[in-house]
């Protein structure tokens, strides 16, 4: 079966257009939030803790702030994108159309990842208003951003299929992902923790994602870059398997 690029492009454009209608609030809110993080963490804490591992604290928290925004935005965009057809009942038209599950995922996840990457770049630009951030490996940084955006958009796609209400769409991002991000080294290095808590932190998958992204900035992270990439790719593979199972069985899609 040939790849239905017209269907993919149509869904992609529709999702991007939906983002375009709220682009001001979609980008302005993260910018304000990021600025507040810099004021609170960068100024208040940074005045007491000037460096972390030889990196100025203000610059050190930039990768964590970008990841924090991208995690939540990726999940929100992808989950809402596929949940709305379920809620409106148009999912049955999509399932009966000559569009394969692969093409459906590419369209929705691609649009959500595009929004997430744009947000990440806006946060990165905003950070330069407060601190001087040098990126040691810019191409790897962009590659890692794409990988993270795609992975968490797939995760959000799963949540959108699983959720039965708008309230359930918010459960995982707010009660699971957000706390794990704050505890995953977004604003500190896990090497600063006591040995016992450092061991516990290594069971948090967000640690590996943030550490890998931070490595692309400063050439150093809490764990080796190879392990971070392996953990991210492993999460990506798990999401792909789950989505494949959902479409194969029709889980919460056909009933």
Q: What share of the chain is helix, strand, coil (3-state, %, to 5)?
A: 75, 0, 20
Name the more confident of 48 and 248: 248
pLDDT exceeds 80 at position 2: no
pLDDT value of residue 255: 64
Question: Taking the mean position of all CA atoms in its chain, how far away is CA 46?
Answer: 26
Considering only CA atoms, which of 80, 99, 61 is closest in space to residue 189?
A: 61
The answer to whether the beta carbons of residues 182 and 171 sit under 8 Å apart is no
Which of 45-54, 84-93, 183-192 is predicted with the least confidence, judged by mean pLDDT?
45-54
Name the more confident of 53 and 100: 100
* Domain range list for the chain: 5-249
- CA-to-CA distance for 149 and 75, rounded, in angstroms? 9
Whether the predicted model's global pTM rises above the 0.85 cut:
yes
Residue bearing tokens 């450092």: 198
pLDDT value of residue 158: 96
Structural tokens at position 212: 């890998």
pLDDT value of residue 18: 82
**Helices and strands per DSSP (H, E), number in the chain:** 12, 2
Q: pLDDT tens for residues 212-234?
A: 999 999 999 999 999 999 999 99
pLDDT value of residue 32: 85
The answer to whether the beta carbons of residues 67 and 186 sit under 8 Å apart is yes
Q: DSSP code of 190?
A: G
- CA-to-CA distance for 128 and 136, rounded, in angstroms? 15
Structural tokens at position 57: 């604290």
Rounded to the nearest integer, the mean pLDDT of the chain is 89
pLDDT value of residue 118: 92
- CA-to-CA distance for 83 and 71, rounded, in angstroms? 18
Q: pLDDT tens for residues 182-192?
A: 889 988 899 88
């Amino acid at each position: 079966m040939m790849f239905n690029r017209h269907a993919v492009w149509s869904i992609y454009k529709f999702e991007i257009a939906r983002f375009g209608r709220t682009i001001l609030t979609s980008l302005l809110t993260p910018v304000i939030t990021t600025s507040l993080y810099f004021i609170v963490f960068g100024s208040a804490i940074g005045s007491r803790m000037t460096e972390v591992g030889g990196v100025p604290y203000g610059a050190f928290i930039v990768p964590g702030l970008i990841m924090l925004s991208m995690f939540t935005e990726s999940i929100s965009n992808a989950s809402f994108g596929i949940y709305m057809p379920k809620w409106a009942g148009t999912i049955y038209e999509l399932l009966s159309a000559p569009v394969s599950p692969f093409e459906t995922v590419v369209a929705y996840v691609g649009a959500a990842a595009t929004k997430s990457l744009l947000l990440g770049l806006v946060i990165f630009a905003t950070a330069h208003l407060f601190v001087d951030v040098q990126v040691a490996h810019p191409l790897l940084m962009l590659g890692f951003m794409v990988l993270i955006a795609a992975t968490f958009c797939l995760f959000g796609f799963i949540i959108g299929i699983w959720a039965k209400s708008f309230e359930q769409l918010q459960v995982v991002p707010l009660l699971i992902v957000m706390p794990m991000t704050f505890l995953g080294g977004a604003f500190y290095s896990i090497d600063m923790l006591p040995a016992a808590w450092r061991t516990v932190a290594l069971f948090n998958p967000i640690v590996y994602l943030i550490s890998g992204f931070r490595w692309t900035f400063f050439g150093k992270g809490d764990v080796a870059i190879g392990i971070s990439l392996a953990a991210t790719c492993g999460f990506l593979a798990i999401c792909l398997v789950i989505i494949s199972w959902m479409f194969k069985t029709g889980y919460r899609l056909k009933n």
